[in-house]
């Protein structure tokens, strides 16, 4: 009976820990917003710039936003996603820390993916070379022994090499397809450093880090010589 109670207590603790680890965070605007295509969109506008921001979803570590910027003025403006940052606040809307948490730099992500592609190419060449070398070595050993079934052994080596190489080719193709799709995403869907002329616009995804202890956050978006600030309430689920 005592052991049963211990087991039940342990199960309750495990379930409690599991529920805690499953928490995730979302954001809802802490200022006026409008509903557009199921999204809560916050708009900002001054004499030179119109922008809008909506929270899309989150990864394990980042909030994902969709940002739109339109240049209303006559001068060129620059928007650089790595300059976008978030400030975090407690339940009383007081700063938790003076530190600013900056958006993921898409250029760094693209550079890392290019490096991963190069590394995978190198690994593929090395693996293919090893498969060939080991197949040849096995064949030489089989031919050098005194057994009479050399043809069968050589055929078996060829089958093993072919199987190993087919597996490597499948793995390589899958890896390259994934890496190239990620590269395409970061190049074309994520907001990158952009100069806007008069009457030009840009739209893209930005990634900002999640600060678990925050109750409210402000997203600061430098655009040209101005900064548009967006306020959100952080909700734990």
Instruction: Output the DSSP codes for 48-76.
Output: SEEEEEEEEEE-SSEEEEEEEEEE-SSS-
Identify which of 113, 125, 95, 136 has the alpha carbon closest to the alpha carbon of residue 188. 113
Bridge partners of residue 206, in order along the sequence: 65
| CA–CA distance, 63 with 67 (Å, rounded to integer) | 13
* pLDDT (0 to 100) of residue 124: 85
- 142 located within any domain: no
Q: Is residue 148 part of a domain?
A: no
> Is residue 88 in some structural domain?
yes
So what's the pLDDT on residue 127? 79
Least confident of 137-146, 177-186, 211-220: 137-146
| Dist. CA 1–CA 7, nearest whole Å | 10
Q: How far, in Å, CA of 215 to CA of 90, rounded?
A: 5
**Mean pLDDT, the chain, whole residue set:** 85
DSSP bridge partners of 204? 67
Q: Which domain holds residue 103?
A: 26-127+160-237
Tokens 């952009």 correspond to what residue?
194
CATH number at residue 205: 2.60.40.10
Cβ atoms of 69 and 223 within 8 Å: the answer is yes
What is the percent of the chain with per-residue pLDDT over 90, rounded to a whole number? 68
Asked if residue 5 belongs to a domain, the reply is no
pLDDT band at 64 (very low <50, low <70, confident <90, very high): very high
> For the chain, what is the domain count?
1
Distance CA 224, CA 226 (A): 6
Cα distances from 63 to residues 55, 126, 168, in angstroms, run: 7, 39, 36
Domain annotation covers residue 98: yes
pLDDT tens across 159-212, in order?
Answer: 666 777 788 889 999 999 999 999 999 999 999 999 999 999 999 999 999 999
Tokens of 209: 């880090």
pTM: 0.79
In a domain, 97, yes or no: yes
Regarding predicted confidence, which is higher, 225 or 137? 225
Return the pLDDT at 153: 54
pLDDT score of 59: 93
Q: Place 75 in a pLDDT band, splitting at 50, 70 and 90.
A: very high
């Amino acid at each position: 009976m005592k052991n049963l109670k211990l087991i039940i207590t342990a199960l309750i603790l495990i379930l409690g820990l599991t529920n805690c680890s499953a928490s995730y965070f979302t954001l809802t605007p802490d200022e006026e917003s409008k509903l557009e295509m199921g999204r809560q969109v916050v708009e900002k506008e001054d004499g030179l710039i119109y922008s809008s921001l909506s929270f899309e979803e989150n990864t394990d570590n980042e909030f994902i936003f969709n940002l739109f910027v339109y240049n209303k003025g006559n001068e060129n403006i620059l928007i650089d996603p790595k300059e976008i940052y978030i400030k975090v606040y407690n339940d009383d809307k007081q700063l938790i820390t003076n530190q600013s948490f900056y958006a993921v730099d898409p250029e760094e992500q693209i550079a890392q993916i290019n490096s991963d592609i190069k590394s995978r190419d190198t690994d593929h060449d090395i693996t293919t070379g090893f498969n060939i070398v080991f197949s040849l070595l096995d064949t030489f050993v089989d031919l050098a022994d005194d057994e009479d079934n050399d043809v069968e052994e050589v055929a078996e080596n060829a089958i093993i090499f072919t199987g190993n190489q087919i597996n490597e080719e499948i793995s390589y193709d899958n890896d390259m397809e994934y890496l190239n799709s990620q590269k395409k995403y970061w190049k074309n869907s994520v907001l990158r450093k952009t100069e806007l002329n008069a009457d030009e616009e840009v739209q893209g995804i930005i990634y900002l880090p999640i600060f678990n202890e925050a109750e409210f956050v402000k997203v600061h978006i430098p655009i040209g010589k101005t900064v548009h600030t967006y306020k959100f309430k952080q909700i734990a689920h």
